[in-house]
Amino acid sequence: MGRRSQYPEEFRLRAAQLVIDSHRSIRDVANELGINPETLRNWVNAAKRQQAARPAGLSCDERMELARLRRKVAELEPEREILKRAAVFFAKETAGGRGQVCAFIAAEKTIYGVRRLCRVFSISPTTFFAWARRGGGPTPAELDEPMRSTPFTARGSSTAAPTAPVG
């Protein structure tokens, strides 16, 4: 075991930081501080190793923003998956309308939950549950209304037809 240093820890850290920040030679700083240049070289190397091992620090605001963005990504990833599945589902179907959206919700509710699916497709959960109570068939009003070219409007979408995500 080596002997204990005669220099306090704070002094060693500040001396090493002085060399790193000022870009002066180790010999110049050591002469100015009255210490052995090899001792200062050891302190500088230790400080550089310590800085390299430490991850780049984030400010409190940056950490909060990062946490907020991670929560948002965690919310949006399942919704993206829902829309990808919906595109496949609706491509197979020939009839359009709210019944088709409710049929998709019924098929996927065990994976994503009714509330999230209804939110993605801008349909109230009450509408879905009423459709399910009827046994999944169309209402008389749906039978009378003409076929729409766009079966639904996804939340946050400017177009009515679902599209596969790019990339």
DSSP per-residue codes, 97-146: SHHHHHHHHHHHHHHH-HHHHHHHTT--HHHHHHHHHTTSPPPHHHHHSP
Q: Are residues 34 and 81 in the same domain?
A: no
Q: Does 25 fall in a domain?
A: yes
- Mean model confidence pLDDT for the chain: 79
- Residue pair 97/144 in contact by the 8 Å Cβ criterion: no
pLDDT of residue 16: 92
pLDDT of residue 34: 92
Q: Does 121 fall in a domain?
A: yes
pLDDT of residue 98: 78
**Whether residue 45 has pLDDT greater than 80:** yes
Q: Does 157 fall in a domain?
A: no
| Position 152, amino acid | F
Which residue is associated with the tokens 């589902």?
89
Domain of residue 27, residue span: 9-53
Q: Are residues 90 and 134 in the same domain?
A: yes
pLDDT of residue 158: 47
Q: Does 151 fall in a domain?
A: no
For the stretch 62-80, pLDDT in tens is: 888 999 999 999 999 988 8
pTM of this prediction? 0.39
With a CB cutoff of 8 Å and minimum separation 6, the contacts of 150 are: 96, 160, 161
Q: Are residues 44 and 85 in the same domain?
A: no
163 pLDDT tier (thresholds 50, 70, 90): low
98-112 helix and 125-133 helix, angle to the nearest 10 degrees: 100
Q: Does 80 fall in a domain?
A: yes
Structural domains counted in the chain: 2
Q: Are residues 130 and 95 in the same domain?
A: yes
Closest CA to 157 of 80, 52, 75: 80
